[in-house]
Amino acid sequence: MAIPARIELPTFPAGKRIAFTTSWDDGTIHDRRLVAYFNQLGIKGTFNLNSGLLEGKTLPSGWHGRIRPDEVASLFHGHEVAVHTVTHPWLDRLDGAQIATEVLDDRKALEDLVGYPVRGMAYPFGTYNDRVINTLRDLGIVYSRTCENRYNPWVPAEPLAWPSTMHVLDESNLTLPERFEKMYTDNNRSVTGLFYAWGHSYEFETDNPRRNWSNLERLFQSIAGKPDVWYCTNIQLFDYESARQRLVLAANRASAFNPSAVPVTVKADNKLIEIPAGQTIRLDI
């Protein structure tokens, strides 16, 4: 048996080179069509819902129709449900008590619907400040997406002020598939990183040929199905990174122990080895 000369921890599971995730706000009825299409492609989404604005609740004038509470669990099965506050306020205009109520009540209501801990969030209107961030830290929120953009926004320095790569319909600096292809082929496919697109599914309910459902299919079809891309939800990124950081490598490089609940991939010399959750695996084989 030979001990590896070098052990590396790839950024993403199975040595995937790029992670691709999406985020969709408000929980409108158009999510039904979006989810059906994503399920066909194998793309994952995080869906940020306002529990106080679901069907049966009073909607502000001019707002789009919302999904029913009783369909949330089945509709978003295999994806992620995340906080978007109860009533979609400008959080930066509220005091700490109101921020806590909006976020915690939304979290609890959504957990009642989906049956698992809801730990992610997106800011309504993209607004936040230090008071908002400091309040969220104590409410069990792992991350919160902003409306700010950054190339390769992983790992964020502040998870509660997490930028995306782009809004899904932003064409100011190449279209979504063009930007993804640029990252995917950057440096002769040696780049590792995250591509993160966000939007609202109702934005495709138009007659505009660049903003309709046919355009949605055009945007995502060329991105799907790539073997070196990890298609994941927002929370899966944070859970994997947490497990990756917790992995224990033996000083003699002969074994690795994974104390987390998520399998973690190591690269022993040039061989990828998966360390199952809660197990110790020999690497000198």
> Is residue 86, in this structure, part of any structural domain at all?
yes
223 and 260, same domain (yes or no): no
> Is residue 190, in this structure, part of any structural domain at all?
yes
**pLDDT value for 138:** 93
21 and 112, same domain (yes or no): yes
9 and 127, same domain (yes or no): no
**pLDDT value for 252:** 95
Q: 273 φ, ψ to 5°? A: -130, 130
6 and 21, same domain (yes or no): no
> Is residue 149, in this structure, part of any structural domain at all?
yes
Q: Which residue(s) pair with 268 in the sheet?
A: 7, 271
Q: 33 φ, ψ to 5°? A: -70, -40
Q: Which residue(s) pair with 20 in the sheet?
A: 195, 231
What secondary structure does DSSP assign to 88-138, as a single string? ---GGGS-HHHHHHHHHHHHHHHHHHHSS----BB-GGG---HHHHHHHHT
Q: What is the pLDDT along the chain (285 residues), one digit of tens a residue?
A: 699 999 999 999 999 999 999 999 999 999 999 999 999 999 999 999 999 999 988 888 788 899 999 999 999 999 999 999 999 999 999 999 999 999 999 999 999 999 999 999 999 999 999 999 999 999 999 999 999 999 999 999 999 999 999 999 999 989 999 999 999 998 777 789 999 999 999 999 988 888 899 888 889 999 999 999 999 999 999 999 999 999 999 999 999 999 999 999 999 999 999 999 999 999 987
> Is residue 240, in this structure, part of any structural domain at all?
no
72 and 211, same domain (yes or no): yes
Tell me the three state secondary structure of residue 76. coil
| CATH number of the domain bearing residue 215 | 3.20.20.370
> Is residue 233, in this structure, part of any structural domain at all?
no
64 and 81, same domain (yes or no): yes
How many domains, in total, are found in the chain?
2
> Is residue 156, in this structure, part of any structural domain at all?
yes
Instruction: Find the distance separating the first CA and the last CA of the chain, reported in whole Å.
Output: 5
191 and 272, same domain (yes or no): no
> Is residue 237, in this structure, part of any structural domain at all?
no
211 and 273, same domain (yes or no): no
222 and 253, same domain (yes or no): no
Instruction: Look up residue 242 and give its amino acid.
Output: S
Range of the domain at 276: 1-16+248-285
187 and 217, same domain (yes or no): yes
> Is residue 239, in this structure, part of any structural domain at all?
no
118 and 12, same domain (yes or no): no
169 and 205, same domain (yes or no): yes
